[in-house]
C-alpha cells in the first residue's frame, strides 16, 4: 500500500509515470538468507550464437580423411593383397556414385528442356545407356543380399565371380582385357549359327538377283573374307520385310542374335524381339549422334568402347584401326532407315567376324 501511494503521488504532481515493467527485482545474494530488494540486473546467462555447421562438417571431414589415410597405410603395410581389393572397391564405388550423379543431372536437364533420349549429345546418351546396364547388374546384387547375413555370401560371390556379378568399375585393368575377350568369344560362338539362319532364309527372298548376291555375301563371310559396306547396303530391302525383319525371324535366329548382343536368350520370344528392337534402335540413335559429333572428338578409350559395342573386338586393335572401322560403320548405319534395323543388327556380325585383328 505504501508503494502504491508513492507512485500515485508522483503521478499527481505531474511527474511522468514509470514505464511498465518491474520496479524492483527479487535478488538472492549468496551468504544472505533474506531476499535483497534492488533494481533488476542483466542476466548473466546468454545463448551462444548459431553454430557454424559448415566449419563443423569441414573439420569432421578433415579428421575422417586423416583417419582413413592412416587406415589405408596400415592395410597396405600389413595386408597388401587385401589392400588391393579394398582400394579397388572404394574407387569403383566412387566412380559408380559419380556416374549416378551425372545421370541424375542429365535426367534433370531432359526434364527442364523437355528433351527425348535421341535429342541428347552422344556422350550423354552413351552415359545413360551404360549406367542403366550397370544399375541392372547392381540391382541383382542388392536383391540377393536382402536376406539376413546374406551380405557375407554376396562378398564371397563377388570375389569368386567378378565378371558375372561386378561392373567394369570394380575390375582391374588386367581383368578388363580378360573379361572383354571372354565376352567376345561368347558372342563369336553365335556367329556361325546366325550365318546358317541367313542362308536358310535366302530361298524365301522373291528377287533372284538379291538371292544370288546374298548367297555370295554369306559365302564370302564363311570363307574368311571381310565384306564391304556396299555389299550389305545392296540387301537393305531384304531386311525390312519377311523373312528377315525382326518381327518374322525364327526363334533360333532371335536367340542367336541375343547371344551376339550379349543379351540373355532365356526369355519368351516376344521379349527377345522387343529387347533386340530396342537395343538396335538405341544403337542407331547413338550412331546418328556420333556422326554429328565426329569420331575425331572421341578419346582412344571412347573409340574402342564404341567399336566393342558394335560387335568388334577392339581390345587388341590399335586406335587407328578402330577409328577407320568406326568411320565405315557410321557411314553404313546412318544410311539406314528405321524399317531396316534388322540389317543393322546383323551388321554387328557381318562386319566384325573377319575384320583384321579379330581372327584369333
State whether 144 and 87 are in the same domain: yes
Are residues 192 and 89 located together in one domain of the fold? no
Same domain, 325 and 211: yes
User: Is residue 201 assigned to a domain?
Assistant: yes
Q: How far apart are CA 231 and CA 221, in angstroms?
A: 11
Q: Which of 102, 135, 170 is the last residue before a domain boundary?
A: 170
Is residue 166 located within the same domain as residue 210?
Answer: no
Q: How confident is the model at residue 301 (pLDDT cuts 50, 70, 90)?
A: very high
Confirm whether 6 is domain-assigned. no
Q: Which residue is listed with cell 564404341?
A: 306
Enclosing H/E stretch for 336: none
Over residues 50-64, the mean pLDDT reads 74
Position 31 in a domain: no
- Regarding whether 143 and 201 lie in a shared domain, the answer is no
194 and 109 co-located in one domain: no
Q: Answer whether residue 357 is part of any domain.
A: no
14 vs 85: which has the higher pLDDT: 85
Q: For 60, what's the count of Cα atoms within 13 Å in the CB-facing half-sphere?
A: 6
The answer to whether residue 48 sits within a structural domain is no
Query: 203 and 158 in one domain?
Result: no
Question: Nearest-CA neighbor of 290 among 122, 164, 113, 120?
Answer: 122
Do both 308 and 334 map to the same domain?
yes
Cβ-count burial of 64 within 10 angstroms (0-12 exposed, 13-18 middle, 19+ buried)? exposed
- The three cell numbers of residue 6 are 508513492
**9 in any annotated domain:** no
Considering the domain architecture, whether residues 198 and 303 belong to the same structural domain is answered as yes
In the listed set 105, 137, 170, which residue is the last one of a domain according to the structure? 170
**Boundary-marking domain end, from 135, 170, 205:** 170
For the record, the C-alpha cell of 85 comes out as: 581389393
Number of domains in the chain: 2
Host H or E run for residue 10 = helix 2-12
Q: What is the pLDDT of residue 141?
A: 80
SS3 readout for 62-75: HHHHHHHHHHHHHH
Top-confidence residue, 203 or 86:
203
Same-domain pairing of 107 and 221: no
Q: For 34-43, 162-171, 199-208, 221-230, which range has the lowest pLDDT when averaged over its residues?
A: 34-43
| 59 or 186, which is more confident | 186
Q: Examine residue 102 and state whether it is found in any structural domain, yes or no.
A: yes
Whole-number Å distance between alpha carbons of 296 and 327 = 10
Give 128-170 pLDDT, tens digit per residue.
Answer: 999 999 999 888 887 877 777 776 777 788 888 999 989 999 9
Furthest CA-CA distance within the chain: 128
Is a pLDDT exceeding 90 seen at residue 289? Answer: yes
Domain that holds residue 93: 60-170
The verdict on 69 and 113 lying in the same domain is yes
- pLDDT in the model for residue 159: 84
Residue 112 lies in a domain: yes
Predicted confidence band of residue 248 (pLDDT cuts 50, 70, 90) = very high
Is residue 58 very low, low, confident or very high in pLDDT (cuts 50, 70, 90)?
A: confident
Same domain, 208 and 118: no
What is the structure's pLDDT at 54?
Answer: 74
Lowest mean pLDDT among 5-19, 106-120, 260-274, 325-339: 5-19
Amino acid at each position: 500500500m505504501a508503494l502504491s501511494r508513492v507512485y500515485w503521488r508522483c503521478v499527481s504532481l505531474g511527474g511522468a509515470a514509470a514505464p511498465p515493467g518491474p520496479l524492483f527485482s527479487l535478488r538472492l545474494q549468496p551468504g544472505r538468507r533474506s531476499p535483497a530488494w534492488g533494481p533488476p540486473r542483466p542476466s548473466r546467462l546468454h545463448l551462444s550464437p548459431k553454430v557454424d555447421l559448415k566449419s563443423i562438417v569441414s573439420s569432421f571431414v578433415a579428421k575422417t580423411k586423416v583417419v582413413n589415410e592412416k587406415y589405408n597405410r596400415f592395410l597396405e603395410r600389413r595386408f597388401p593383397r587385401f589392400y588391393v581389393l579394398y582400394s579397388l572397391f572404394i574407387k569403383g564405388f566412387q566412380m559408380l556414385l559419380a556416374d549416378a550423379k551425372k545421370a541424375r543431372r542429365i535426367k534433370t536437364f531432359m526434364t527442364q528442356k523437355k528433351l527425348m533420349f535421341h535429342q541428347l549429345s552422344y556422350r550423354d546418351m552413351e552415359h545413360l545407356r551404360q549406367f542403366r546396364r550397370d544399375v541392372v547388374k547392381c540391382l541383382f546384387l542388392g536383391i540377393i543380399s536382402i536376406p539376413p547375413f546374406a551380405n557375407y555370401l554376396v562378398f564371397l560371390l563377388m570375389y569368386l565371380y567378378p565378371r558375372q556379378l561386378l561392373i567394369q568399375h570394380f575390375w582391374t585393368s588386367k581383368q578388363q582385357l580378360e573379361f572383354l575377350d571372354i565376352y567376345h568369344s561368347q558372342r563369336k560362338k553365335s556367329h556361325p549359327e546366325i550365318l546358317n539362319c541367313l542362308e536358310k532364309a535366302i530361298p524365301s527372298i522373291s528377287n533372284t538377283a538379291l538371292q544370288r548376291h546374298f548367297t555370295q555375301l554369306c559365302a564370302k563371310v564363311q570363307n574368311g573374307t571381310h565384306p564391304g559396306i556396299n555389299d550389305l547396303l545392296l540387301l537393305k530391302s531384304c531386311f525390312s520385310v519377311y523373312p528377315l525383319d525382326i518381327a518374322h525371324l525364327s526363334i533360333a535366329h532371335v536367340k542367336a542374335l541375343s547371344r551376339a548382343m550379349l543379351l540373355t536368350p532365356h526369355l519368351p520370344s516376344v521379349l527377345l524381339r522387343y529387347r533386340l528392337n530396342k537395343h538396335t534402335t538405341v544403337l542407331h540413335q547413338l550412331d546418328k549422334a556420333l556422326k554429328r559429333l565426329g569420331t575425331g572428338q572421341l578419346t582412344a578409350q571412347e573409340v574402342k568402347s564404341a567399336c566393342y559395342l558394335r560387335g568388334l573386338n577392339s581390345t587388341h586393335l590399335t586406335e587407328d584401326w578402330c577409328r577407320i572401322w568406326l568411320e565405315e560403320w557410321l557411314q553404313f548405319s546412318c544410311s539406314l532407315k528405321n524399317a531396316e534395323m534388322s540389317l543393322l543388327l546383323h551388321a554387328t556380325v557381318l562386319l566384325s567376324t573377319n575384320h583384321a585383328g579379330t581372327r584369333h
